[in-house]
Amino acid sequence: MKVLVTGGAGFIGSHVVEAYLSQGHDVSVVDDLSTGFRHNLKQNIRLYEVDIRSRQLQDVLRQEKPDIVSHQAARANVRESFEEPLLYADVNVLGSVNLLECCKQFGVKKIIYASTGGAVYGEPQWLPVSEDHPVNPLDPYGASKHHVEHYLHLYNLNYGIRYTALRYPNVYGPRQNPHGEAGVVAIFTGQMMASGQPVINGSGEQLRDFVHVSDVARANVLSMDKGDNQIINIGSGTGSSVNTIFSLLAARTGFSKPPVRGPAKKGEVSQIFLNSDKAGQLLGWKPEISLKDGLDSTVRFFESVSESKQVAQL
CA 132 to each of CA 73, 153, 262: distance values in angstroms, whole numbers, following the listed order: 25, 16, 34
Q: Beta-carbon neighbour count of residue 8 at 10 Å?
A: 29
User: Could you tell me which residues are beta bridge partners of residue 27?
Assistant: 3
User: Could you tell me which residues are beta bridge partners of residue 114?
Assistant: 166
Q: Is there a catalytic annotation at residue 141?
A: yes
Which of the following is catalytic: 48, 141, 163, 172?
141
Per-residue b or e along 239-271, where b marks 16 or more CB atoms closer than 10 Å to that residue's CB: bbbbebbbebbbebbebeeebeeeeeeebbbee
Question: Which residues fall within 8 angstroms of residue 313, CB to CB, at 6 or more apart?
Answer: none
The vertex-287 CA angle with 185 and 77, nearest 5°, equals 35
Contact assessment for residue 30 and residue 5, using Cβ atoms and an 8 Å cutoff: yes
Catalytic residues: 141
